């Protein structure tokens, strides 16, 4: 019975972690693999409930600026300038740097926190559970303080 319980809990933990990584990768790939992608700065001009928009200026010489949007939760106040990476084929930007990278991995950080009690209680691996909880908390707190 112990083996069956551990197997079921391990499958649930694996499902949580895969879902968190899958959800994170949609945004994180633009931050982590930014070589060859358009980079620049975005000056926030206005925000609504979900997005902020602003004037984008690419890093390259001779490039003209354009208007882009960014998720409201990673944007700063009106008038601030943010380093961004442009999602290919869209007018949407992703915040670059440590803050943007940690923000992109928030779903995985949440999955790590959700998996920790399952590992500690269901599989009786207390040290591993504390490691998962610490890693998840580090991602969440790092994103909070860096944004």
Write down how long the chain is: 147
Band of the pLDDT at 35, cuts 50, 70, 90? confident
Of 116 and 60, more confident: 116
Of 133 and 60, more confident: 133
Least confidently predicted of 22-31, 48-57, 65-74: 65-74
Mean pLDDT of 43-60: 90
Band of the pLDDT at 73, cuts 50, 70, 90? confident
For 9-34, what is each residue's pLDDT tens digit? 999 999 999 999 999 999 999 999 88
- Secondary structure (H, E, C), the chain: CHHHHHHHHHHHHHHHHHHHHHHHHHHHHHHHCCCCCCEEEEEEEEECCCEEEEEEEECCCCCCCEEEEEEHHHCCCCCCEEEEEECCCCCEEEECHHHHHHHHCHHHHHHHHHHHHHHHHHCCCHHHHHHHHHHHHHHHHHHHHHC
pTM for this structure? 0.86
Band of the pLDDT at 62, cuts 50, 70, 90? low
Tokens of 22: 């899958």
Determine the pLDDT at residue 9: 96
Domain boundaries, the chain: 1-34+96-147, 37-93
């Amino acid at each position: 019975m112990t083996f069956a319980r551990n197997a079921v809990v391990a499958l649930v933990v694996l499902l949580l972690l895969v879902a968190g990584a899958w959800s994170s990768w949609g945004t994180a790939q633009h931050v982590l693999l930014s070589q060859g992608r358009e980079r620049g700065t975005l000056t926030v001009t206005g925000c609504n409930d979900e997005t902020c928009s602003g004037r984008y200026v690419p890093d390259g010489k001779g490039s003209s600026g354009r208007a882009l949007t960014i998720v409201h939760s990673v944007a700063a106040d009106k008038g601030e300038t943010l380093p961004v990476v442009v999602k290919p084929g869209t007018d949407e930007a992703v915040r670059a740097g440590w803050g943007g990278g940690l923000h992109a991995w928030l779903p995985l950080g949440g999955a790590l926190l959700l998996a920790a009690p399952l590992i500690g209680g269901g599989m009786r691996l207390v040290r591993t559970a504390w490691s998962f909880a610490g890693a998840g908390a580090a991602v969440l707190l790092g994103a909070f303080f860096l944004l």
